Every structure is written in structure tokens, then in C-alpha cells.
Amino acid sequence: MTYVEGFVTAVPTQNRDRYVAHAREAAALVKEFGAARFVETWGDDVPRGTVNDLWSAVQAKDGETVLFSWFEYPDKAARDAANAQMMADPRMEAMGADMPFDGSRMIYAGFDVINEAGPGGDFGYLDGVVVPAATDAKAAYLAFSRSSAEAFVEHGATRVVDAWGDDVPDGKVTDYKRATHLKEGESVAFGWIEWPSKAVRDAAWEKLMADDRLAGSPDERGMDGKRMMFGGFTPLLLL
């Protein structure tokens, strides 16, 4: 089963080119260590929320852009082996000494992919989401993920992925638990929708808002939509 290392990061907007260069260097090592895919996306349509949002998740400051990123591995064992190699490789240490962003505010965790739909491939636009879900309602969340993914693909999405928190560490400054205001008995879910373009995505959402497959009460969906964090992103690196 595919395993995902998911990240949300705040990067000074003026450092975009430096970040791309840094990410390309990191991607070469991550893929050398076993990652099947390395994706970085740049915030384009990231709304402010009333309870929480992706901006507050990483304590983004004025002049910063929020990024939504992930590494894909064949399974958790491959991810764990890759992380062990990263920690021991002096090249990673050297890159960490000169980062074009504040790494202390980056949130990251390991997630098990529980549902995937669509043919995949490169994409032109992305919807990313992080949401708290009731741990004992995982089956309901999976059922909702499957029905909504069917709707997304029908309306033009090329790939839909939903993943369930497995290795969600505590951070010194922030983390997924604080970002989602996680409560006892809840887990963190991480997912995304790949679209051919922003135009296709925008047209699809007009129809999806009236699609019953995306409706339902919190109990029926297995998650608290009021604490859902989401946004639209443009691809920065697809490797």
C-alpha cells in the first residue's frame, strides 16, 4: 500500500527560486533513497478560515506563501528506510544548514493511503486538504472518500488520494495535531485532488457543490468539516 510523507510549509514568496533549487537538490536524494514520487505545490487559492486554516497551520507571516507537498513511497517500510538514510547522510545535513524557509514551522507526518482513484499522471492544478477525523469512524471516512472521489473523477479530476495519519509527530513550534485542533479520539487525514488545469477545477467545483456524493452530516462523513484546512495550489515540482 502506498505510503505518503505529507508536508505543509511557509516559504518567503521572494525565495521561490531559491526554494525550487533547494527542493530539486533534496528530491535527488529522496528519490535515491527510495521515493517513487516527489511533489511540491505553491499556494494559489488558500482561503482564511474562521477556526483554522493552512496559513495558521504553519504560522505563515506576511510575505510568505503556503506550500503543500508530499513524497510517495511503495510502503511504510520503504519510507522508514529512506528516513533512516536521510538522517545518516551528510548531504542532507548540509542542505539543512542553508534552507530558504523556516524549517521549524514546517509540519510533516506519515500517512497510509486508504483510497486512490483516477488515472494519474502530471497535473496542472491541485486541491490539498488536511482534516481531523474520528478514529472510530474510519470506515465512514473511507466510504465518504470513495464516493467523493468518484464524483471528482467524473467531473474531470485525474487523481484523488486520501490518506490516514499513521506517524504524526509532535513539533516544537507547530504540528498537524495543533493545526487541526485535534481532540482525543481523532486522527489526522491528508489528501489531494489533481486536476488538468485551474479552469477545469473551477468549473468542476460549481457542479460538485450540488453533488449529493459530497453531502452528509459529520457522522456520515466521519470528519469535522469546520476544522478542515484546504487550498488550491499550482505545481512547483513533479519528480
Convert the pLDDT of each residue in 42-94 to its tens digit: 999 999 999 999 999 999 999 999 999 999 999 999 999 999 999 898 888 88
pLDDT per residue as tens digits for the range 87-123 = 898 888 888 788 999 999 999 999 999 999 999 999 9
Pairwise CA distance, residues 28 & 238, whole Å: 12
Domain that holds residue 30: 3-238
The pTM of this model reads 0.96
CATH number for the domain harbouring residue 158 = 3.30.70.100
**The length of the chain, given as a count of residues:** 239
Which string of b and e fits 150-164 if b means at least 16 CB within 10 Å? ebbbebbbbbbbbbb
The C-alpha cell at 105 is 514551522
DSSP codes joined into one string, 178-201: HHTT--TTEEEEEEEEEES-HHHH
How many domains are contained in the chain?
A: 1
Dist. CA 218–CA 233, nearest whole Å: 26
Give residue-wise pLDDT tens across range 151-205: 999 999 999 999 999 999 999 999 999 999 999 999 999 999 999 999 999 999 9
